[in-house]
Amino acid sequence: MRILFYDTKKYDRESFDKILPKYKDIEIEYTESDISVKTARYAAGFDAICAFVSSDLSREVFEVLAREGVRLVLMRCAGFNNVDLKAAKKHDITILRVPGYSPEAVAEHAMALALACNRHIHKGYIKVRENNFSLVGLTGINFHNKTAGIIGTGKIGAAMCRICRGFGMRVIAYDIYQNPDLDFVEYAKLDEVLENSDLISLHCPLTDDSYHMINEKTIKKMKDNVVLVNTSRGALIDTEDLIKGIRAHKFHSVGLDVYEEETENVFENREDDIMQTSITSRLLSFPNVIVTSHQAFLTEEALEAISYTTLENAQSYLEGHIIEQNEVAK
């Protein structure tokens, strides 16, 4: 099986090349280009392609892939809201993903964001580098004995619940399905979680129901001086409403690893570019906001798990016995 990997970085190539010798029937080629209608034709002569969460897997792209003979799309990520499943079904292209590679990696980054923006670590670091040892503007809040509200208690949300418990926090949560392993968590309605939490961390998938679940109406229900963290999907938050809330001093601080405008920015070096739209620039202008570049997953352990599961998915497809829990239903 020949697989073309789109949008690869140095750490991707190193991770996959490390374990590739174990898979004798699989051949990999890498391109730094992300997939698009134009670059999809690069897949000519390949049996499969591998893409990431930010890749364009639209109807038009699937039409090109099908024409070039691609029968399998490997997602080296858990999310697939960027995949046109109807188009994949129409062209009989199988979609396999990595449903759980390191939930602790994302949860640890969520808490890192919460701590960093709460205690103004980013500001303190810059001040000291400039020989400014003043503590003005660096006051944070204790998380101990406070309430953490976790929205979504799948594997990542559950890991965040355990981390918050370790900080001595009361943990409440909202999820359609309650996690039986979290006997210390108090489940409540979404409004109750919003109204009672000092720290709110988002860990739910992006669906039609969850799109812009954090908006002007739900922000008003939150406590004043709340800390908000999102390491899930950018579109869970209506960014314009978030900015209004920040300007109204609703939030103590905000930590974002994902945001609505990230598609053109994620994993790219744009330090010499002039941003053509304003959402990212406005978010970065606030002193109590930290934005990272969709890096929550990025640990050595997570990369190893992603590489292993992706190639196991390819091998299982090749052998005719797909790993069912990794297949995206069409």
Residues that are catalytic = 233, 262, 294
3-state secondary structure the chain: CEEEECCCCHHHHHHHHHHHHHCCCCEEEECCCCCCCCHHHHHCCCCEEEECCCCCECHHHHHHHHHCCCCEEEECCCCCCCECHHHHHHCCCEEECCCCCCHHHHHHHHHHHHHHHHCCHHHHHHHHHCCCCCCCCCCCCCCCCCEEEEECCCHHHHHHHHHHHHCCCEEEEECCCCCCCCCCCEECCHHHHHHHCCEEEECCCCCCCCCCCECHHHHHHCCCCEEEEECCCHHHECHHHHHHHHHCCCEEEEEECCCCCHHHCCCCCCCCCCCCCCHHHHHHCCCCEEECCCCCCCCHHHHHHHHHHHHHHHHHHHHCCCCHHHECCC
What separation in angstroms does the CA of 237 have from each of 52, 155, 164, 234?
22, 21, 22, 6
CA 75 to centroid of chain Cα atoms = 14
- In one-letter notation, the amino acid at residue 202 is L
Handedness of CA 5, 8, 10, 12 (dihedral sign): negative
